[in-house]
């Protein structure tokens, strides 16, 4: 189903081909999972997870305008009953989610080339939000430096480069 996006804001919809590759890799985690979509944009990734059998998805987005778009897309796809939309700064919201359930898949797609991945990943090491066998996926520019991952306690499981973007698949090192 085609979903709407907001024109003119810093929202980069993930291409269909990239999304298909992403979900082929995530296939073992998706059925029945709890999915956290950080920097959710249009909500396309979390909506795709729900459409492929995720039990629930939490969408975190700072822009009220984009948050309303996510709600419209969830209503259009008839997936709103399994979704929660949280408005706010991702790093602040992560701390409020602690103790309210864990996630099997945490996906983040922050604005490229602002260094937001590093701070969000650091906070995720402090908050107990990832299930024991869970996975974190970061969508970023191919030039993003991830040399700090091991020092933070992450183990890179897989990496896919798609031209103008890449997906880094991570586990907590002590769980890898």
Q: Which one-letter DSSP state was computed for residue 104? A: E
Closest residue by Cα to residue 136 from 91, 167, 94, 100? 167
Over the stretch 110-138, which tens digit does the pLDDT of each residue have?
999 899 999 999 999 999 999 999 999 99
Structure tokens that stand for 126 in this block: 């402090």
**May I ask the CATH class of domain 16-175?**
alpha beta
pTM: 0.92
3-state secondary structure of 143: coil
Q: Are 152 and 125 in contact (CB under 8 A)?
A: yes
Over the stretch 27-62, which tens digit does the pLDDT of each residue have?
999 999 999 999 998 899 999 999 999 999 999 999
Question: What φ, ψ does residue 104 adopt, rounded to 5°?
Answer: -80, -35
What is the total residue count of the chain?
176
């Amino acid at each position: 189903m085609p979903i709407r996006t907001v024109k003119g804001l810093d929202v980069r919809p993930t291409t269909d081909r990239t999304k298909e590759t992403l979900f082929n890799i995530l296939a073992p985690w998706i059925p029945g999972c709890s999915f956290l979509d950080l920097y959710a944009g249009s909500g396309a990734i979390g909506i795709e997870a729900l459409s492929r059998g995720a039990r629930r998805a939490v969408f975190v987005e700072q822009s009220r305008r984009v948050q309303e778009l996510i709600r419209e897309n969830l209503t259009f796809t008839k997936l709103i009953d399994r979704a929660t939309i949280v408005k706010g700064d991702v790093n602040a919201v992560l701390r409020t989610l602690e103790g309210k359930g864990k996630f099997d898949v945490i996906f983040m797609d922050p604005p490229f080339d602002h260094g937001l991945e590093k701070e969000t990943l650091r906070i995720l090491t402090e908050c107990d939000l990832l299930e024991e066998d869970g996975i974190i996926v970061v969508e970023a520019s191919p030039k993003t430096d991830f040399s700090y991952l091991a020092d933070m306690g992450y183990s890179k499981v897989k990496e896919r480069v798609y031209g103008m973007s890449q997906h880094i698949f991570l586990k907590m090192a002590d769980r890898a």
